[in-house]
Structure 1
């Protein structure tokens, strides 16, 4: 046999090829070049009978054909619902099998295994678990908006618990499911053979309400998927009736009665644009958010109570995810999570810490958990066996066409039955009118056939009428029976007339559809569960960060950190301070400033470049932590340090930044030029090779600029002295410096403000800005403090107000916070007082001004951010004071 096969499979000449094989070669010559050309041959069977026919086939074409057949089977017979009844074949077969077996609402529940057996054995030759899982879902009120199966026993839960085995549970059809099957026995739909052609099953159900929209559907076929959300039964019926009354209605008009999906688990749909897109095009994206409530406890803490969760979210997995986030410290604001589910609801109770802001925590929950999920709507269904993506109007149009067909076929069926019955009654009445003669004919006939024929001939009766008369009982001969027959015939003639009018008038068919659907609405409608809220903003990182003031410190060695401003306590003038940061040897704090977490931070480097970050992007650390190396946050070059920082939430074109360099140069540039970001920074000011940037301030028209030098001199001039320049420029002379001196910084003075000056050893004073004479830009200025060796060089100048506080840091990391009102007000060229007790080995390194109790005039300035009533920890202060006394 093997030799024969080898011989038969050798290549043949063109003359020996069949027409089919030649056609294949012509259609795909490139495949034919690599495939041997077998010819069809009959192989002899094992018992000498006819065997198998070997036919030629190209592998690519065979795979294509097989895959198409498989994919069409999945699309049509498994994964996609029919647009008319909204059911996939397995759902339809379960409902039909239960109805045929009598598992109806008026009968007791039956074992689920019995239903599954009926479905598998009669209509659906697939796995029992697939059928049972489908039936379980049809009984779950959290999966179906209108459950079609009435389950008895454990049918799973919203926590993801699976149903009990089918041998333990019981089920029957729910009352509303009977509306899908109603009139099935009146030839309203076509029937088709089952898988072995031993029985018949309906190809579609009459579906007296739009089940596809009410319960939705989800399925993945080959190359396509459907995801139709559930809706409210009453609203869908109202939309269908509106479409019946006005076929040209718009989507907006339909959305007035059916505003959107109505999920069985409630929750909130954020915005209606996705709904409108889905209804108009068949595709849309919904954002579903849990229904949460913020409550206040008796202890003054906040709670977040989750009342409803999004559709198809596993509640138990949601709880586990919340626990993971708390354990991983991604939600440090949460102190405890309770499972508050009971027979009244599925509440999840989240306890928050005292300092937590509930709205911020909620935003984090929406961002990191399934309390907010997306729902991609794909309104795909089978229309005449072909998958199509449909709009809402097309959905309702196909359903209405199906109902027109159902009503028409039902009316024809009932008309035929009524006409047949009326025909029989007419024969009865003829017989009663001539009863004696009828009896005589029957008695005189030898057989039934003879009697039937003679009756038909004598009274012009039909065969059916004659047969009915022959089967008529004697009690029908009474007078009362005749009256009943006449009444029944009159009633039938009215029905026949009505049925004929229905078949002739399409508007009457529509009225019947509306009346019957409104009856279903009255019986089964429930209130809407899902709310439709305003559109949700995209949750970005900033939404997850509480808006609070932070103290940011930058050391000379380049370490940066932030921590809440309330960490530092207010002390009286001359206090020793508290340890603010642990530093490396020879490191000291170079910059300290206060800013909101939502502000932009502009970092101006000593080389004249600017970098931009948000405050919340800076690393948060404890009071004693050193912080993070700033080179990990900004792409600084070797030797480049941070010279100034500006905090700003906006960049107005009519406000300017004033730059100052160590050599006394200044430059004024519009803030709008710095409202951009580049990874490697932007050029903020051009510098000479031996110069460096020392200060940057915001200025407005009319502001006075104060500059000071290490020589103890200061100069004041109007900001208009410096004309606006571009970003990439060098500037003009601001102060004329003596040999060996450098400029300290640049301050903006306003009416009533004071200039605070501070030396290296903690001596300083306040002087009214008005005591400094107005000069032109470029002069040497006037003395601002008497300089002595004990005081050290002038180290810092700051503009302050009476209700300000100053935070002073030394190179060794000691921090003092004191009220400005406690610092002596003195004349311009005076000695000053001790403000901070500085150790012999230490020096003052940085000073920041904070606003207490009111808004800052320049609230976006890095070292003039307002602080809202900073509270003092009296107990801690008393403890520190006691320790200070013991040390002294």
Structure 2
């Protein structure tokens, strides 16, 4: 029944129109889209204003609420705007008006607000009935010459009034104050700029229309945000200026205040544009509560009348401010990305504009304004000159004029007689009839003549402007410079040439870390202050709590930002950064290295090199258990793969035992478990590729293996130690230099009591030895405390080793407090057996003093 009634409806009935739904939707949406684009969201390229901004400024101008008048209630202006020109919500209009008055939103505020107009903290403005406003002085430059027919006008929404389609805009407001808005299917985001710099760029283009973007950037280097900050890098600016699209990175400005007891504070003095300060402080509090910023002890508001932005971030003792800043940049809005999209209306059509195109359209608008203003001024001057000429004719014949007037019955009759007698126009006769008697004096006549002379000069000047494009452009330049002199302010935003994309390394403090790797394959890093120095013969302290049959095999010191090259017994190399290694306490075993590196079954780490770069003129020397060696340029290892790279090809049954950095002219020393040592020049091994086997470095019998390979530098000594802790040092100069491939000479006399030779090291007297046992006990003793003996002696007790324990590895800690030559410093290596840090392995209490008690029996070890 319902369907029947619906079918009976006459589609032609009054008020009912038949239409296809899809077509109607498309038409309606297109109309809505164009309305939003044209009338709400996008600025005009000529004056940089959206319709609501333009209507607010014009309504205040039309009502006389100018800078030389008292402030007027904001509600009055809002009422005028929505009643006369903008039939939308009053709160929307008021919010727009508020923004025009905010010095943290507008680079050059256009409204002078009186009262609470909001804050950078995100506080909203007071209600419009409480606040007052008037036009700011710079806004008058946008409206200047409006009454001189410089722009087109159109009816308002009810056609009862006229409103300007665009303002004369005597400075490039679109660039100066920027704009942002979201239309339908498009958006604009134009950053603000410095007024003086923008005017200079405009003048530069007036002088040379073919100026390049690079030349423009010499006077307009980049955006200038009202809240200051730092723009990182030039690439985003160049992209935006050349294409209309770019991505900026904006950072807050800060200063670091040094406090007492090693504590510092970071004071944030400026924050990025459009960042809410209150939300920023709340985010900081959340990060501190969530332990994501453990270096920060407190954050509080330091804002006052003189410093309205200051946020004071107090750091804990010994926290590194730059690392904390990098974390803040990473996790908070102290660094933000700002996408530039310079979209504006050109002749009512949206266009993405480059800097040159934006200035071109502005200059074109100014030329049109000057031409129309000059035509208006010319017409007014000619009209006034015409009147003055008639008045002067009347004064020259005043008696006859008076007689004609007195003899006429009406004004019309007098006008006709004057026109007929003196050949005047109706306008001139009307002026004569209205002339006062005071004009008959000689002084008044002189004034009229001077005024006419001045007008004739102006008329000639106006005609010259209209006929001379160069002069017209000069007029534009002069007026722009006048505005610059009146309203220019210093640049607030700094421009940094270095683009800084934060990566993980920026969040890590650069400091020396101790890295340990156990025989079972557990790795960890911990600060160098964990261990302290002891005298020779000391018992050491427990460094690692280990599983049964596990012991520390590799120990070294390296910066957190260094690369770690892990060389495996299988001849492969893996690469990590030190900060990627897990950090743990002194007693923790660490993390299984198989969780960090894709090691094959049975593959273990045999050597580790720490380096920050990979120079082509430095080499890695490889040594294997069967005496093979290979020299390869470090530059060939400046790459990485998930499953590792081949570092050296090995014979079946052989394994890699040592990797050392070597320079030209250095000597290589190898020691075997049979107690023999051989020294040869590195040039004996020619440089080879990465995927090669190498050559014979030392010949060893089948039951003997090579213990280690070191670089023997001048004035160094060879230190060797047995399983039971007996060792000695012998000058390298006592060892004869051989060709590579020999068996070597004896370096120690071994006995059953002292055990087998277990480790070797090339040392200096200023060095200190780190000796590690299977049980994980670590002792540090100066090299000078170890007896210097000849090659064929037995050695002295260096470490008191427990009955079931034995020495497994030796490392060197170079004490930077002792004097070293610059050459020595340059030659120092940082691999798993060569430590390069001063005063390492020192425990400190809260006051920074050395702890004297023995840690092995302390409660902390329980």
State the distance in 2 between where 1:725 and 1:466 align: 109
Displacement after TM superposition at 1:291 (Å): 2.7
Displacement after TM superposition at 1:360 (Å): 3.6
SS class of match (1:71): helix
Distance 1:713 1:289, change over 3 A: same
State the distance in 1 between where 2:444 and 2:740 align: 125
- Aligned partner of 1:257 among 215, 219, 223: 219
- Aligned partner of 2:32 among 66, 70, 87: 70
Is the counterpart of residue 863 in structure 1 residue 826 in structure 2?
no
Displacement after TM superposition at 1:464 (Å): 3.4
Residue in 2 aligned with 1:225? 187
Query: How big is each residue's C-alpha offset from its partner over 1:316-337, in whole Å with a ceiling of 9 and x where there is no partner?
Result: 3333333344444444443443
Distance 1:450 1:781, change over 3 A: closer
Query: How big is each residue's C-alpha offset from its partner over 1:569-608, in whole Å with a ceiling of 9 and x where there is no partner?
Result: 1111011112212222332212112222232211122233
Is the counterpart of residue 547 in structure 1 residue 510 in structure 2?
yes
State the distance in 2 between where 1:426 and 1:526 align: 48
Is the counterpart of residue 356 in structure 1 residue 319 in structure 2?
yes
- Aligned partner of 1:760 among 703, 708, 723: 723
Q: For 1:803-842, what aligned pairs fall within 5 Å after superposition?
A: 803-842=766-805
Is the counterpart of residue 191 in structure 1 residue 160 in structure 2?
no
Q: CA RMSD in A?
A: 3.2
SS class of match (2:853): helix
State the distance in 1 between where 2:382 and 2:130 align: 50
* 8 Å Cα contact 2:530-2:843 kept in structure 1: no
Q: Which moved more, 1:746-755 or 1:819-828?
A: 746-755
* 8 Å Cα contact 1:649-1:860 kept in structure 2: no
- Aligned partner of 1:98 among 52, 60, 70: 60
State the distance in 2 between where 1:728 and 1:475 align: 111
SS class of match (2:812): strand
- Aligned partner of 2:13 among 44, 47, 64: 44
Query: How big is each residue's C-alpha offset from its partner over 1:682-718, in whole Å with a ceiling of 9 and x where there is no partner?
Result: 2333445544333223344544443334444444444
Is the counterpart of residue 464 in structure 1 residue 427 in structure 2?
yes
* 8 Å Cα contact 2:699-2:742 kept in structure 1: yes
Residue in 1 aligned with 2:759? 796
Residue in 2 aligned with 1:626? 589
* 8 Å Cα contact 2:531-2:840 kept in structure 1: no
Displacement after TM superposition at 1:301 (Å): 4.0
Query: How big is each residue's C-alpha offset from its partner over 1:445-498, in whole Å with a ceiling of 9 and x where there is no partner?
Result: 555544544444444443334444444555555666555545544444444344
- Aligned partner of 2:709 among 743, 746, 768: 746
Displacement after TM superposition at 1:123 (Å): 1.0
* 8 Å Cα contact 1:600-1:649 kept in structure 2: yes
* 8 Å Cα contact 2:554-2:832 kept in structure 1: no
Residue in 2 aligned with 1:180? 142
* 8 Å Cα contact 2:542-2:855 kept in structure 1: no
Normalising by structure 1, report the TM-score: 0.88
Displacement after TM superposition at 1:532 (Å): 2.8
Residue in 2 aligned with 1:30? none
Displacement after TM superposition at 1:736 (Å): 4.8
Normalising by structure 2, report the TM-score: 0.90
Which consecutive segments of 4 or more residues in structure 1 shift more than 6 A? Answer: 1-6, 881-884
Displacement after TM superposition at 1:90 (Å): 0.8
* 8 Å Cα contact 2:251-2:336 kept in structure 1: yes
State the distance in 1 between where 2:243 and 2:567 align: 52
Q: Which runs of 5+ in 1 are unaligned?
A: 10-40, 46-50
Q: Which runs of 5+ in 2 are unaligned?
A: none
Distance 1:827 1:67, change over 3 A: same
State the distance in 2 between where 1:870 and 1:3 align: 93
* 8 Å Cα contact 1:749-1:769 kept in structure 2: yes
- Aligned partner of 1:241 among 180, 199, 203: 203
Q: For 1:408-557, what aligned pairs fall within 5 Å after superposition?
A: 408-432=371-395, 447-473=410-436, 481-557=444-520
* 8 Å Cα contact 2:252-2:334 kept in structure 1: yes
Residue in 2 aligned with 1:22? none
- Aligned partner of 1:130 among 77, 86, 92: 92
State the distance in 1 between where 2:446 and 2:668 align: 116
* 8 Å Cα contact 1:754-1:766 kept in structure 2: yes
Residue in 1 aligned with 2:854? 880
* 8 Å Cα contact 1:660-1:695 kept in structure 2: yes
SS class of match (2:363): helix
Q: Which moved more, 1:437-446 or 1:613-622?
A: 437-446
State the distance in 2 between where 1:637 and 1:871 align: 33
Distance 1:414 1:566, change over 3 A: same
Distance 1:496 1:363, change over 3 A: same
State the distance in 2 between where 1:521 and 1:612 align: 57
* 8 Å Cα contact 1:856-1:865 kept in structure 2: no
* 8 Å Cα contact 1:192-1:202 kept in structure 2: yes
Is the counterpart of residue 572 in structure 1 residue 572 in structure 2?
no
Residue in 2 aligned with 1:54? 18
Displacement after TM superposition at 1:254 (Å): 3.2
Displacement after TM superposition at 1:556 (Å): 1.8
SS class of match (2:852): helix
State the distance in 2 between where 1:527 and 1:666 align: 66
Displacement after TM superposition at 1:102 (Å): 2.0
Query: How big is each residue's C-alpha offset from its partner over 1:94-147, in whole Å with a ceiling of 9 and x where there is no partner?
Result: 101111122211222222222112111211122222211111111011111110
Distance 1:824 1:194, change over 3 A: same
Residue in 1 aligned with 2:76? 114
* 8 Å Cα contact 2:726-2:796 kept in structure 1: yes
Distance 1:788 1:856, change over 3 A: farther
Displacement after TM superposition at 1:8 (Å): 8.2
State the distance in 2 between where 1:778 and 1:497 align: 103
Displacement after TM superposition at 1:681 (Å): 1.3
Residue in 2 aligned with 1:661? 624
* 8 Å Cα contact 2:728-2:788 kept in structure 1: yes
Number of residues of Structure 1 aligned to a counterpart in Structure 2: 847
Distance 1:437 1:342, change over 3 A: same
* 8 Å Cα contact 2:344-2:351 kept in structure 1: yes
SS class of match (1:517): helix
* 8 Å Cα contact 1:568-1:817 kept in structure 2: no
Is the counterpart of residue 394 in structure 1 residue 357 in structure 2?
yes
Distance 1:859 1:738, change over 3 A: closer
State the distance in 1 between where 2:688 and 2:209 align: 67
SS class of match (2:237): helix
Distance 1:655 1:336, change over 3 A: same
Is the counterpart of residue 595 in structure 1 residue 565 in structure 2?
no
SS class of match (2:805): coil
* 8 Å Cα contact 1:502-1:509 kept in structure 2: yes
